[in-house]
Amino acid sequence: MFDVVLLWVIALSVLTVVLESVEDVQRQFGRALMLAEWTFTLIFTVEYLLRLWVVRRRWKYAASFFGAVDLLSILPSWLELVVPDAHYFLAVRILRLVRMFRILKMAEYVQESSVLLAALQGSRRKIMVFFVFMLSLVCVEGTAMYVLEHGANSGFVNIPQSIYWAIVTITTVGYGDVSPVTVAGKIMASIVMLTGFTIIAVPTGIVASELSRGSKTADGRRTCRECGFHEHPPSAIYCHQCSQPLP
């Protein structure tokens, strides 16, 4: 019951921080919101100190994920006494709602999240290679746009600004604050746009592939870390394809 009530208090405290950032709400209910915010802070401070008091290994709890989140959920309010507007970082309290998966016996969701985390971890090298490639590509394209446009009063005043334009364009965000005006610049921009259109789905495909592999692993089959073969039965010790030991 205490944990369930705590979840509601956490949600209300995050809502208080969000509402306090709205100017009209702040003007009308600023005093009440400040009182509520400090009330929540005192509650969470006492709760954090009590947790440190009752746990057997205090440093292990303090260094754990939930311990760090519990501490970060109260620090901004006390830091505001020294640093103005630091209390807006109290929105980190929403991470404490992760406790609901344990409190409300939602173990199946935790298992699904482990599959997602494993997929992200398994694709990190491919994503890193893709990121380095994209970084190199936008540097080249931004430099080319600077050479083509820097004398045309189009906003390409330096290479960093041009690289920023290339990133905005190749990701299909398109703020429009910088745009080419010369014919050569427009041709180059078209190439950048088509390049972004063709490669924007690459990270999604990488993660989706790892998710598919992780789902098969979660069904009881084991995946080899060396070659990626995932048709092993649960009793397999070595990979049927490359003979490496299975995890």
Domain boundaries in the chain? 2-105, 125-199
Q: Is the pTM of this model over 0.85?
A: no
Q: According to the model, what pLDDT value does residue 109 have?
A: 53
The rounded average pLDDT for each run of 10 residues, N- to C-terminus, in the chain (247 residues) is 82 83 87 88 89 88 82 79 70 66 51 67 82 90 90 85 92 85 91 85 76 59 65 79 81
Q: According to the model, what pLDDT value does residue 16 have?
A: 85
Please report the sign of the dihedral spanned by the C-alpha atoms of residue 88, residue 92, residue 93, residue 97. positive
Burial 164-180 (b: 16+ CB within 10 A, else e): bbbbbbbeeeeeeebbb
Q: Using an 8 Å Cβ cutoff, are 140 and 235 in contact?
A: no
When the candidates are 3.40.50.720, 1.10.287.70, 3.30.70.20, 2.40.50.100, the CATH number that belongs to 125-199 is 1.10.287.70
Q: Under DSSP, is residue 175 helix (H, G, I), strand (E, B) or coil?
A: coil
* Centroid of chain to Cα 164: 21
Class of domain 2-105: mainly alpha
Burial zone of 121 (CB within 10 Å; 0-12 exposed, 13-18 middle, 19+ buried): exposed
Q: According to the model, what pLDDT value does residue 163 have?
A: 93
Q: Fold match between 2-105 and 125-199?
A: no
Neighbours of 222 (CB within 10 A): 18
Q: According to the model, what pLDDT value does residue 90 have?
A: 66
Residue 205 Cα distances to 148, 190, 199, 237, angstroms: 34, 24, 10, 30
